[in-house]
Amino acid sequence: MTDTPRPAPQYGEYATPEEQQEIIRRSGGPQGAVPAGDAQVLPVAVPPPSVASTPAPEAAAAAANPRRRDRFVTIALLAYGLFTVVTTIPQLIDYAAFAELWMRMAGIDADFTAVAEGRAWGTTAAVLFAVGWIVTALLSWRAIMRGRLSWWIALVGAVVSFIVVSICLSVPLMSDPAVIEGVLRSG
C-alpha cells in the first residue's frame, strides 16, 4: 500500500460495512450480514421496481399541485373570456348603437353616418372575437392534456383577440367624416 491519500468518495464506495448495512436496510434491500474487510465486494441494494417507479405520495401531490393551479387559472380565464365574448357579440352586431355610445362617451357631438360599413365591421369583429376564443380554448386544452403550462395561452389569446377586435371597431369610426369632424372640433 502507498501512503497517498484516497480520493474523496462520491457514491459511498468507502463506506464501512456497518454504514453499508444501514443504507441497505433503509433502502429496503436484502438484509444479511455484511462481512468486514476491504477485500470483499458487497452487494448494492436496489429497491424493487414497484418502489423505484412510484413516487412518494407527498412528492406526487407536490408535483400535481402547480398543474392543478394552472388548470384552475386557465379554466377561470377561459370562462371569463367566454362570458365577455357572449355578452359583447350583440353589441358588436348592433354597431350603430355602439358607435353612438362611444361618441357620447368621447364627448363627440355628431351622428354616426357609416351605418352599413359599421354593421359589416361589427359583424366581422364579432366573428373574429368568437373564433379567437375558440382557438384559445383549443390551444389551452391541448396544453393541459399534454401537462404543459396553459394559463399564458388564455392570457395571450385574450390580448390578441382584443387587439384584432379593437382594430375592426376603429376602422368604421375613423372612416366616418362626422366622427372625424367631431374629433377635430372637440380637440
Q: Looking at the predicted structure, is the pLDDT value of residue 120 above 90?
A: yes
Count CB-CB contacts under 10 A for residue 121: 21
Q: What is the pLDDT of residue 114?
A: 87
User: What's residue 59's pLDDT?
Assistant: 59
The mean-pLDDT minimum among 27-31, 60-64, 178-182 falls in: 60-64
Those residues whose C-beta lies under 8 Å from the C-beta of residue 150, and which sit 6 or more positions away, are 70, 71, 74, 139, 140, 141, 143, 144
Largest CA distance in the chain: 103
Q: For the segment 129-140, what is each residue's pLDDT rounded down to a tens digit?
A: 999 999 999 999
Determine the Cα–Cα distance for residues 94 and 88; give it in Å rounded to an integer: 10
Q: Residue 108: which pLDDT band, with cuts at 50, 70 and 90? A: confident
How would residue 26 be classed by pLDDT, with cut points 50, 70 and 90? confident
- Report the chain's mean pLDDT, rounded to a whole number: 82
The whole-number average pLDDT for the span 110-138 is 94
Please give the grid coordinates belonging to residue 63.
Answer: 408535483
- Mean pLDDT, rounded, for 159-165: 97
pLDDT for res 135:
98
pLDDT at 42 over 70: no
Q: What is the pLDDT of residue 44?
A: 55
Q: What's the pLDDT score for residue 113?
A: 87
Percent of all residues in the chain with a pLDDT value above 70, rounded to a whole number: 75
Span 97-118, average pLDDT:
88
pLDDT computed for residue 8 by the predictor: 67
| Annotated domain spans of the chain | 17-53, 57-186
What is the arithmetic mean of pLDDT over 153-170? 96
pTM (2 d.p.): 0.61
